[in-house]
């Protein structure tokens, strides 16, 4: 089941400069994630976890080193290709739900399909399937304001999987949920990753979720190490 590597990070560093001083946030990061793997990154705040996720997600460009998603070097791409990459290969789940407030649940998924320029009817089928798996079918016409925190996060998961991405990047997906709901959300991510043979990286503070992950890495002062 674990075959092809989906994500390869090679010697990645990231500097943030504010004019006269630069801070090295990521120091020589190496990481490979294979199909079907669900990886957790833990560490104190300010250690560079979210920066790592942003660099992988083509939201930031690394200062040095290479990132390959599906054997394609990410940061050499044009800005337009960045967007296409995000739309096609990467699914984001953010810390807070970050849904579009004026779209109902099925609208949120339809939007992703539209941005990725995918076929309408396959998108419809895919959306139905995702909603039923995540137990959201009866909430499909509700708007984010009418959903509970757990439901919103489940919609966010459905949205992240909607474009059939190669890799899911989850940034503290449980931060706004209580532990029971949080665990359920992480279980769902894990299930989706396994059943669809995807890869996922989750940044979290929550140590109780780690048993659901295949590998746990610790981020400390910009260095990444296997626990």
Asked if 112 and 84 touch (Cβ cutoff 8 Å), the reply is no
Question: Phi, psi at residue 185, to the nearest 5°?
Answer: -65, -45
Q: How many DSSP H helices and E strands does the chain contain?
A: 6, 10
d(CA 59, CA 202): 16
Nearest distance, CB of residue 5 and other proteins, angstroms: 23
- At residue 64, φ and ψ (nearest 5 deg) are -135, 165
- Is residue 173 close enough to count as binding other proteins by CB under 8 A? no
Per-residue string for binding with other proteins, 8-37, x by CB under 8 A? -----------------x------------
Does 121 help bind other proteins (rule: CB under 8 A)?
Answer: no
Confirm or reject binding of residue 114 to other proteins (CB under 8 A): yes
Residue 32 · residue 7 · CB < 8 Å:
yes
- Which residue number, 71 or 78, has a Cβ lying nearer to other proteins? 78
Cα–Cα dist 62/52, whole Å? 9
Residue numbers 54-113 binding other proteins by CB under 8 A: 54, 57, 59-60, 80, 83-88, 90, 92, 94-95, 98-103, 107, 110-112
Where do we find the tokens 């801070």? 23
Kindly list the residues in this chain that would bind other proteins in the complex (CB under 8 A). 25, 45-46, 48-51, 54, 57, 59-60, 80, 83-88, 90, 92, 94-95, 98-103, 107, 110-112, 114-116, 143, 159, 163, 171
């Amino acid at each position: 089941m674990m075959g092809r590597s989906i994500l390869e990070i090679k010697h990645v560093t990231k500097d943030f400069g504010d004019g006269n001083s630069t801070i090295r946030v990521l120091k020589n990061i190496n990481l490979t994630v294979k199909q079907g793997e669900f990886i957790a990154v833990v560490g104190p705040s300010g250690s560079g976890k979210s920066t790592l996720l942003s660099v992988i997600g083509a939201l930031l460009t690394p200062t040095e080193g290479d990132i390959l998603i599906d054997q394609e070097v990410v940061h050499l791409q044009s800005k337009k290709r960045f967007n296409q990459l995000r739309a096609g290969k990467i699914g984001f789940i953010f810390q807070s739900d970050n849904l579009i407030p004026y779209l109902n649940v099925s609208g949120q998924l339809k939007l992703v399909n539209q941005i990725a320029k995918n076929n309408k009817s396959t998108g419809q089928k895919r959306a139905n399937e995702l909603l039923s798996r995540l137990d959201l079918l009866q909430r499909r016409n509700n708007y984010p304001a009418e959903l509970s925190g757990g439901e919103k996060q489940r919609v966010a998961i459905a949205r992240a999987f909607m474009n059939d991405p190669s890799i899911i990047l989850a940034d503290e997906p449980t931060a706004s949920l209580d532990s029971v709901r949080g665990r359920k959300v992480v279980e769902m991510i894990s299930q989706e990753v396994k059943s669809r043979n995807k890869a996922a990286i989750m940044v979290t503070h929550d140590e109780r979720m780690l048993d659901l992950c295949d590998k746990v890495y610790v981020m400390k002062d910009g260095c990444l190490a296997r626990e």
